[in-house]
A = this chain, B = another copy of it.
Amino acid sequence: MKIALLQLNVTVGDLAGNARRIEQAARDSAKAGAQLAVSSELALLGYPPRDLLLDRALLEQAQETTNRLARSLDGVIALLLGTVEPNLADRGRSVRNVVQLLKDGNVRAGTTKVLLPTYDVFDEDRYFEPGAGSSPLQFAGTTLGLTICEDVWNDAQFWPHPRYHLDPVEVLAGQVQTLINLSASPFHRGKQVLRERMLGHTARRHGKPLLYINQVGGNDELIFDGRSCAFDARGQLLGRAQAFREDVLLVELPSEGELVPGRAEPDLAGEEEVWQALVLGTRDYTHKCGFQQGIVALSGGIDSALTAAVVCAALGPANVVGVMMPSPYSSRGSLDDSARLAGNLGIETMKLPIEPAMQAMEQILAPAFAGMQTDVTEENIQARIRGTLVMALSNKFNRLVFITGNKSETAVGYNTLYGCTAGALAVIADLYKGEVYRLAYWLNRNGEVIPEDTLSKPPSAELRPDQRDQDTLPPYDVLDAILYGYIEEGHTSAELIEAGNDPQTVHRVLKLLRQAEFKRRQLPPALKVSARAFGMGWRMPIARR
């Protein structure tokens, strides 16, 4: 029997569009000889639907759409579809996260998700009533064991500290011939290596082939990387779909015996992996919001250069404008570097010198500020004038603004709210400054994209004469190490100091991190590429002590 793993780029809430996409892929799979197609988790709604799940009309629409899809595919192919169903019991939450089998024009129960992730970016306990456990599904003379995403992430022989008390796969595996997991597993650096290690372990432990279908595409800050895959009963990888693209992986599953080796796309890692994630996330956010074109403010620095390069790869150079907004503190080099970058990328530029607005603001505020010292206020005014200008371009030309801040500066608040943070999407806000450099060097591996001078000059916000980031912040390698240890690795300040970091610097950095919470609360979505990103997976109080 041939099974098709449908790795599709679905849009949250677009039930009709997602159904069309699933139907087309299922029909194509039938033509290629498949008897069964399998979607990713909640493919009909797009993951994560978030509070759309509280909308009763949408739940009804999901059921109607599923019924229609079953009738359309009648006699063509059977489909295991990730969707929702209402919980009709007199207790519990209102919805179930389910797989349904669409076959011969009918819709039958497949399974209900048992383990509901409620950590990091996940909120599934907010919506779903869990299933008690999965039953084997008879299909075409074989027995399938269906699970949904998190259900396969709690193997006590793999994880030192399982999050849940039940392992749904352990319960199910003995009763079935093949394990199938429908997922919507968001990307972060290196996650596929972990997934394949865990899934291979699970297949081997239970001695069953395991098919894994993942969603692909960007939905707000989350990027789904696809890379659906198949393992034989010894835990060997026998097939892998493409990363960061729609793909349908056909798997040959004999009724007796082992999985047949299939197509295994080469995996991605390192800078290439992050680059493709950012490009996909930027493109999907833009298009799924109904836009085609983008604006990036170019400062001559590395952050805006890398952001422009990503946006350019995502939308095409013809759809990107780079805006230079020099002040009297901008260096000649910054303008030259921006122009050179624009030339390398092949994008249009626009130059809007901000001095007239600086003077006007100074004039308006002169009576209020009489006798006061110049301070960070005047720097923020410059940034906010720039924010106002890029938003004016956005409004007038219907283009999205992409902001350029990195994770290091977002962490410590080295940015101006409503200034450099004004825009629709933060493209590189989950990359530390050091990672920004690494990605920029990688991008230049076959020739200059990011100008050499942008890479070599010391970082500066150019908001006052001869300003350098390092006047205000610790050196970026020191800063990044402390932030990474605290945010990604969960170390305490005591542990960071024990590891050799300067105590004063640790305390200062963590204080800055706390104090910048009010700024982060007001940022646009930031593409997540790390295991712990600012955004929906970072929920800190602002008023605290």
**A residues with CB within 8 A of B:** 11-14, 17, 46, 48-52, 54-57, 90-93, 116, 118-119, 123, 125-126, 156, 161-165, 218-220, 284-285, 288-289, 350, 352-354, 356-357, 359-361, 363-365, 368-369, 372, 375-377, 380-381, 384-385, 387-389, 391-393, 395-396, 417-418, 422, 424, 490, 492-494, 518, 521-525, 536, 538-545
Q: What residue in chain B is nearest A123 (Cβ atoms)?
A: B539
Task: Tell whether, in the assembled complex, residue B418 and residue A388 are in contact, meaning their CB atoms are under 8 Å apart.
Answer: yes
User: Which B residues are in CB contact (< 8 Å) with A54?
Assistant: 490
The 7 closest A-B pairs by CB, nearest first: A14-B545, A288-B543, A360-B360, A13-B544, A57-B492, A377-B395, A125-B125
Task: Tell whether, in the assembled complex, residue A392 and residue B365 are in contact, meaning their CB atoms are under 8 Å apart.
Answer: yes
Known: A165-B92, A354-B364, A542-B220. A391 touches B395 (CB 8 A): no
Task: Tell whether, in the assembled complex, residue A369 and residue B356 are in contact, meaning their CB atoms are under 8 Å apart.
Answer: no
Task: Tell whether, in the assembled complex, residue B387 and residue A361 are in contact, meaning their CB atoms are under 8 Å apart.
Answer: no
Known: A521-B524, A525-B521, A541-B50. A91 touches B11 (CB 8 A): no
Q: What residue in chain B is nearest A350 (Cβ atoms)?
A: B368
User: Which B residues are in CB contact (< 8 Å) with A356?
Assistant: 360, 363-364
What are 25 of the A-B contact pairs (CB < 8 Å)?
A11-B545, A12-B543, A13-B545, A48-B541, A50-B540, A52-B541, A93-B163, A123-B123, A125-B125, A288-B544, A352-B368, A353-B364, A354-B364, A357-B360, A357-B364, A359-B360, A364-B389, A365-B392, A368-B396, A377-B392, A377-B395, A377-B396, A518-B524, A525-B542, A536-B539
Task: Tell whether, in the assembled complex, residue A163 and residue B396 are in contact, meaning their CB atoms are under 8 Å apart.
Answer: no
Once bound together, how far apart are the Cα atoms of A522 and B526, in whole Å?
12
Task: Tell whether, in the assembled complex, residue A91 and residue B388 are in contact, meaning their CB atoms are under 8 Å apart.
Answer: no
Task: Tell whether, in the assembled complex, residue A388 and residue B384 are in contact, meaning their CB atoms are under 8 Å apart.
Answer: yes
Q: How far is the CB of A125 from chain B (nearest CB, A)?
A: 4
Once bound together, how far apart are the Cα atoms of A395 and B116, in whole Å?
44
User: Which B residues are in CB contact (< 8 Å) with A123?
Assistant: 118, 123, 126, 539
Task: Tell whether, in the assembled complex, residue B544 and residue A11 are in contact, meaning their CB atoms are under 8 Å apart.
Answer: yes
Pick the residue among B164, B220, B536, B543 that contacts A543 (CB under 8 A).
B220
Q: How far is the CB of A61 from chain B (nearest CB, A)?
A: 10
Central interface residue in A52, A219, A521, by most chain B CB within 10 Å: A521
Central interface residue in A46, A48, A363, A392, by most chain B CB within 10 Å: A392
Q: How far is the CB of A389 from chain B (nearest CB, A)?
A: 7
Once bound together, how far apart are the Cα atoms of A350 and B366, in whole Å?
12
Once bound together, how far apart are the Cα atoms of A388 and B368, in whole Å?
14
Q: How far is the CB of A363 from chain B (nearest CB, A)?
A: 5
User: Which B residues are in CB contact (< 8 Å) with A50?
Assistant: 539-541
Task: Tell whether, in the assembled complex, residue B368 and residue A91 are in contact, meaning their CB atoms are under 8 Å apart.
Answer: no
Once bound together, how far apart are the Cα atoms of A544 and B119, in whole Å?
23
User: Which B residues are in CB contact (< 8 Å) with A93?
Assistant: 163
Once bound together, how far apart are the Cα atoms of A523 and B542, in whole Å?
13
Task: Tell whether, in the assembled complex, residue B13 and residue A220 are in contact, meaning their CB atoms are under 8 Å apart.
Answer: no
Known: A123-B123, A377-B396. A12 touches B541 (CB 8 A): yes
Once bound together, how far apart are the Cα atoms of A545 and B56, in whole Å?
16
Q: What residue in chain B is nearest A522 (Cβ atoms)?
A: B522
Q: How far is the CB of A286 from chain B (nearest CB, A)?
A: 9
Task: Tell whether, in the assembled complex, residue A49 and residue B352 are in contact, meaning their CB atoms are under 8 Å apart.
Answer: no
Task: Tell whether, in the assembled complex, residue A352 and residue B364 are in contact, meaning their CB atoms are under 8 Å apart.
Answer: yes
Once bound together, how far apart are the Cα atoms of A281 and B218, in whole Å?
37
User: Which B residues are in CB contact (< 8 Å) with A377?
Assistant: 392, 395-396
Once bound together, how far apart are the Cα atoms of A417 and B403, in whole Å?
15
Q: How far is the CB of A67 from chain B (nearest CB, A)?
A: 19
Q: How far is the CB of A491 from chain B (nearest CB, A)?
A: 9
Pick the residue among B48, B369, B388, B542 that contacts A361 (CB under 8 A).
B388
Q: How far is the CB of A287 from chain B (nearest CB, A)?
A: 8
Once bound together, how far apart are the Cα atoms of A54 and B538, in whole Å?
10
Task: Tell whether, in the assembled complex, residue A384 and residue B387 are in contact, meaning their CB atoms are under 8 Å apart.
Answer: yes
Once bound together, how far apart are the Cα atoms of A524 and B381, in whole Å?
20
Task: Tell whether, in the assembled complex, residue B518 and residue A289 are in contact, meaning their CB atoms are under 8 Å apart.
Answer: yes
User: Which B residues are in CB contact (< 8 Å) with A393?
Assistant: 365, 368
Once bound together, how far apart are the Cα atoms of A536 and B356, in whole Å?
40
Once bound together, how far apart are the Cα atoms of A387 and B17, in whole Å?
40
Q: What residue in chain B is nearest A49 (Cβ atoms)?
A: B541
User: Which B residues are in CB contact (< 8 Å) with A539?
Assistant: 50-51, 123, 126, 536
User: Which B residues are in CB contact (< 8 Å) with A363?
Assistant: 356
Task: Tell whether, in the assembled complex, residue B56 and residue A492 are in contact, meaning their CB atoms are under 8 Å apart.
Answer: yes
Task: Tell whether, in the assembled complex, residue A492 and residue B545 are in contact, meaning their CB atoms are under 8 Å apart.
Answer: no
Once bound together, how far apart are the Cα atoms of A354 and B360, in whole Å?
9
Task: Tell whether, in the assembled complex, residue A392 and residue B380 are in contact, meaning their CB atoms are under 8 Å apart.
Answer: yes
Task: Tell whether, in the assembled complex, residue B91 and residue A161 are in contact, meaning their CB atoms are under 8 Å apart.
Answer: yes
User: Which B residues are in CB contact (< 8 Å) with A92?
Assistant: 162-165
Known: A365-B352, A525-B542. A395 touches B376 (CB 8 A): yes
Known: A352-B365, A424-B518. A541 touches B494 (CB 8 A): no
